Every structure is written in C-alpha cells, then in structure tokens.
Amino acid sequence: MLADQLKTYLAETNISATETQQQQLVGFVTMLNKWNKAYNLTSVRDPEQMLIRHVMDSLVVSPYLKGQRFIDVGTGPGLPGIPLAILNPDKEFVLLDSLGKRIRFQKQVQFELKINNITSVESRVEAYEPEQKFDGVISRAFASIEDMLTWCHHLPADNGQFYALKGQLSDAELTSIPAGFDVVETITLTVPRLDEQRHLLKLVKQK
C-alpha cells in the first residue's frame, strides 16, 4: 500500500528513486510509525500521512541541494535528512538533535535500512563545532529564519548556503532576517496531496 502510494507521489513530483531507495523510504515510515507509539517522535500518527507530510515534504527539496556535505539542524527523527540521504547516496548528511531518543531512533534506522551516508550527533546547535564546515545547512524545524541564522551562522563553509524549509512566509519574518545575510532564492514547493503552503528559502552570508 505505502509502496504503491510512494511510486505515485514520486511520479507526480518527477523525482526518480531506485527500487532499493523506495524500499528504504517505506522502511523509514514503517520504523517511524512503530517507534512513535513508544517514543512520541512526531505528532503525525498515520503512516500514509507520514509518507506525505514527512517523506515527500523532505524529498521535494532534493533538486535544489548544491554540494556534497550537509547538516540537518534540529532534525528530530531525521527530517528532512534521512529521506534526502536515501535519495542522495553520493552526499553526506550530519543529523543534529539535542534529544537522545531521537538520535537512538536515527541510529537504528541507519543500521536496519543500511544507510551509509548519515552521521547522527546529539548536541545543541550552538555548542556544535564541526571539524569541517558544510556546503548546506538545512532546517525545517526552526520557529523563525532569524533564529536559524543566529544559531547556525558558524556551520556553513565559505560558499555554503542555508536551506530554510518553511510553510507560509510572512513579510514580517522576511524583514527580520539579520544583517549580514542575503536571500538568494525563494522557491515554492509542491507536495503531493498536501493542500498547504511550502517554501524553501536559500540564504547566504554576505562576503
């Protein structure tokens, strides 16, 4: 059932995934649903909704990623990092979260689904000092773009970009972007079967 729905959604969004990748994506939803009953990892309870609201909501960002090394800040159970890592095995993803139960879930997903390009880190973002900076800093969890830029300013490499995944975009939020950062692009995303606004903001530090 989920596998058939995933095939349909991928076709609608022109995203290609191998059979193995599709099995991993469905496996992720299955594990998330199972663990969620005990650990309360997401407010979405229905696996079919998880496929739309978590997996497809993450995958539609994939065509816009530039570079090899990414960090997903405040990733929760691994969103959007794990679906993006499954779809992009040639890229590296660090999944950062401060809650141990979320990190344990991510590590179990990595082990069971054999995802070799993710590293889970338990830390608060402001305390995390990577040895190597990132081509992309991704987040769909921050309350505001201002907070994301303030707390994550030390993470991108010289030519790195911030990828802020947002629902609705308000003028107030856009005008409160801190000095020293520029919006490069604002992209309207379409998620199959989701009748809600979705946006991707790409931002950079001013040189």
Specify the pLDDT at position 53.
Answer: 97
Average pLDDT over residues 48-72: 98
Please tell me the distance from the alpha carbon of residue 202 to that of residue 87, in angstroms, as a whole number: 20
Specify the pLDDT at position 68.
Answer: 98
Average pLDDT over residues 63-80: 98
What's the half-sphere exposure (Cβ side, CA atoms, 13 Å) at 172? 2
The letter for the amino acid at 173 is E
Burial of 130 (0-12, 13-18, 19+ CB in 10 A): middle
> Does 140 count as an annotated binding residue?
yes
Can you count the helices (H) and strands (E) in the chain? Answer: 8, 7
Specify the pLDDT at position 142.
Answer: 80
Q: Is it the case that residue 70 has pLDDT exceeding 80? A: yes
Please tell me the distance from the alpha carbon of residue 202 to that of residue 189, in angstroms, as a whole number: 13
> Does 79 count as an annotated binding residue?
yes
On average, the pLDDT of the chain sits at: 96
The SS3 of residue 169 is coil
Average pLDDT over residues 128-138: 97
Taking a C-beta distance cutoff of 8 angstroms, is the pair 111, 120 a contact?
no
Please tell me the distance from the alpha carbon of residue 162 to that of residue 174, in angstroms, as a whole number: 14
> Does 25 count as an annotated binding residue?
no
Please tell me the distance from the alpha carbon of residue 141 to that of residue 137, in angstroms, as a whole number: 12
Residue whose structure tokens are 């179990």:
108
Beta bridge partners of 175: none
Q: What backbone torsions phi and psi does residue 71 show, to the nearest 5 degrees?
A: -125, 135
Q: Is it the case that residue 54 has pLDDT exceeding 80? A: yes
Specify the pLDDT at position 6.
Answer: 98
Taking a C-beta distance cutoff of 8 angstroms, is the pair 110, 86 a contact?
no
